[in-house]
Amino acid sequence: MQVACGADASSPESAAVTGEGTPSKELAGGTASAGSAGPTPNAPVARETPGTASPPPAPTTSVPTTPPATPTPVPVDPNAGAGPKPTATCSISKNGAGFFTRTSTGTSYVAYVPPSYDGTAPMRLIVGLHGCGDDAMNFAAWGVNPYDARGTQEHIGISIGGADGRCWNASDDAKVLAAVDDISSCFWVHQKKVVIAGFSSGGELAYRVGLSQASRFAGILIEDSGLYTASSNPDALLANASWKLGIAHLTHTSDPVFPLAQVKADWVKTKAAGFPLSTSETPGAHDGTSDDWGGWLIPQSASWVAP
């Protein structure tokens, strides 16, 4: 204990200081004044008592979370909807260019099957319809199986006969599906990837059959033709189609047979009806070319699949 005024810390008086007039002694933890007893040596010093402390929070344990299992992707069957592989044996005689002619229940047709077809997988089909004055063999060679693209061709191409040298009319409509059924009995044609295509008068027939029999086709390819001449009621053709199949239409800007203004009016109507339409305006008159088909029209249909 620290004592003021030089008191001997070892004397008894250093333990308790009393007596009137005794000088005040400053003790640790308090002040002793005259007439009062000083605090007991080594007594606890009064302090502010803190409030009751809250217990510390219980330690948390981190529980690892298991991420949801990633669903196993369902494999997509590339042959879904293709139809059965044919089992019939067909008699085929090809010419030097690989073309051959068959006769369906409706008419004859010219066909070309590319070397890439081996029968182990279905292949898409393009059904061609020539213009007035042309014939099935010629259109098969320059239209649906264009020479420059034939080496890498990935579709079977047929050109319908029965109207060689003339224009098509409504009585010819049934010939189209008859040819599709016949070629499908010989080769594995993907039934969800059948495209109908036509030039000029053949384009009118392609529009008419493609829309009225939409459930049989994945899309329609048209060159230098018009929907407005395909039927007496083209609006009904659009309205009654069973689904909105793809359409690609190439027209030549100076075509005197199917004027650009009327063709473009068809396009507006077709888009308004909800059909996915691709168009091309190419310089020229009423004169289709292999480049038109191999370079633009046929590639437009590469991904088309019917529902």
Residue 183 has pLDDT above 80, yes or no: yes
Do the Cβ atoms of 110 and 93 come closer than 8 Å?
no
Q: 204 CB contacts (<8 Å, ≥6 apart)?
A: 168, 198, 225, 226, 229, 230
Average pLDDT over residues 238-252: 98
pLDDT tens readout for residues 23-67: 343 333 444 444 444 444 444 444 444 445 556 666 666 666 677
Beta-carbon count within 10 A of 144 CB: 31
Strands 246-252 and 277-282: parallel
What is the phi/psi pair of residue 60, to 5°? Answer: -95, 145
How large is the average pLDDT for residues 86-108? 95
pLDDT at residue 264 in the model = 98
Residues 166/136, Cβ–Cβ less than 8 Å: no
- How large a percentage of the chain has pLDDT more than 70? 79
Pairing between strand 30-32 and 25-27?
antiparallel
Is residue 73 very low, low, confident or very high in pLDDT (cuts 50, 70, 90)?
confident
pLDDT at 22 over 60: no
pLDDT given for residue 226 in this prediction: 98
Distance (Å, rounded) from C-alpha 164 to C-alpha 131? 9
Average pLDDT over residues 89-94: 93
**pLDDT at position 19 over 70:** no
Q: Is the pLDDT of residue 15 over 50?
A: no
pLDDT tens for each residue of 171-182: 999 999 999 999
Structure tokens at 304: 């088309």
Q: What is the pTM of this model?
A: 0.76
What the chain holds in terms of domains, given with CATH numbers, is 1-35 (no CATH), 99-300 (3.40.50.1820)
Asked whether 301 and 246 are in contact (CB, 8 A), the reply is yes
% pLDDT > 90, the chain:
72
Higher pLDDT, 211 or 57: 211
pLDDT in tens, 254-299: 999 999 999 999 999 999 999 999 999 999 999 999 999 999 999 9
**The pLDDT of residue 182:** 97
